[in-house]
Every structure is written in C-alpha cells, then in structure tokens.
Amino acid sequence: MRSKVNYTRLALVGVGTAGTMAVIHVYQQHAWWSGQRGPFHIVNDWDYALNIDKVGHFYGATLISNLFSSSLQWAGVEKKRAMIYGAMLGSIFGLYVEFEDGFATDWGFSPGDAMGNILGAWYPVAQHYVPFLRNFNFKWSYIPTTQLKTGKKKIFIDDHEGQTMWLSISISNFLPEKIEKFYPDFLNIAIGYGVRDLDGLGGGEARILYCA
C-alpha cells in the first residue's frame, strides 16, 4: 500500500532542511573554515585521532540519514523510498562538508571521512534489507573534556577524548531458544572505543576498549 504524500508537510521538511543546512554552513564557516580558503587538496588522514574520527563520521551520517528518512515518512513518503532518499541526502550533506574541507588550508578532503559518511548514511538501508544487521546498532556517549571547557577545543565534535563510540549487540537474538526465553530482550552487550592523550596534530597515545 502506497503512502499518500502530505505536500504541506513535505514543504515544511524541505524548508526546514534548507534552513538547517544554511545555519550549519554559517556555523562551520566560522568554526572551521574562517580564513582557510585555498586550492582544493586531498589529505589521507586514515589514522587521524586514532581512527575515532572515522567512526564518528559513520555514526553522524547514520543519524542524519535517519533524520531525513523519518521526516519524509512524517510527510507521507512511503517508507522504502524515504529511507533511500534519506540515505542520498545524508551522503550529499556529508560529501558537501568534505568538499568544503578540501578548500580549507588546515584540513583537506579526506577519503576516509567521505567513506565513513557514505557507509553511515546507507547503513539504515542495509539494516532494512538485511535483517541480521539490525542486531548491531551504533551509539555514542560524551563527557566534555577540560580542553572544551577552557576553549582549547572550539566544538564538541572535535572533542574526541570526551567521546566513546559504542557497538550495541542484541545478544538475545543469538541465543538458543531454550535460553532466549529467559533472557531479557533489553539486555545487550556493547563494545566501546575511546581515545586519550591526543597530541592535537592527529596523533595520540592511547586507545581504550570498553565492554558494557
């Protein structure tokens, strides 16, 4: 059964999306790109911030893709189409930021970041078509560091040492039926990844793994 599109809501989603992207652009223009304009260049920063940055790009793109998808479904767009459009919009937004970074003298277009953005944006679609993937969900926790509180870090997105990225695994779906019926469905196992002692230049000293 096809959904009936509510064009008033769809227009609100469009205006809201355009407005939000404009605000984000202005914010990033001042926070990241101010005085940074130069020739487009590529930077292969695969090890930047001990890789937690790449996981963050994946997770952030997943959130953005889901936000677009949910907004389109609210406007009456059929679920599968909304998910595809959400993934496309999430990918476009992520790539737009990366291309802008490509013109920033202190940054550069990062193939690793771009890959994280695209994979993250399409992960909700993959979960829809491959049910097994629904057992693996990404989460995020954050405690501001002294660097952010004292202004050494401008925005929380770059405050990597305060972040922990989590992979939550639905254990109950992997248990034998005799055991599963006694196991609480809400109790998952989460594997976390964090970093410490970053040098501010992309390197660092400590990777930390958590199990919760």
Would you say the pTM of this structure is higher than 0.95? Answer: no
Contact 109, 101 (CB under 8 A): yes
pLDDT computed for residue 26 by the predictor:
82
pLDDT computed for residue 3 by the predictor:
65
Kindly list the distances between the CA atom of residue 178 and the CA atoms of 173, 182, 185, in Å, as whole numbers in the listed order.
Answer: 12, 8, 14
Q: Please give the average pLDDT of every successive group of 10 residues along the chain, which has 212 residues.
A: 82 90 79 82 89 94 95 94 95 91 89 96 97 96 89 81 95 90 92 90 85 94
pLDDT computed for residue 34 by the predictor:
76
pLDDT computed for residue 140 by the predictor:
95
Query: What region, left, alpha or beta, does residue 200 occupy, with left being phi > 0 and alpha being psi -120 to 50 degrees?
Result: left
Burial 50-76 (b: 16+ CB within 10 A, else e): bbbbbbbbbbbbbebbbebbebbbebb
pLDDT computed for residue 45 by the predictor:
87
pLDDT computed for residue 2 by the predictor:
57
pLDDT computed for residue 168 by the predictor:
97
Of the candidates 122, 32, 144, 27, the one whose C-alpha atom is nearest the C-alpha of residue 68 is 122
Contact 28, 93 (CB under 8 A): no
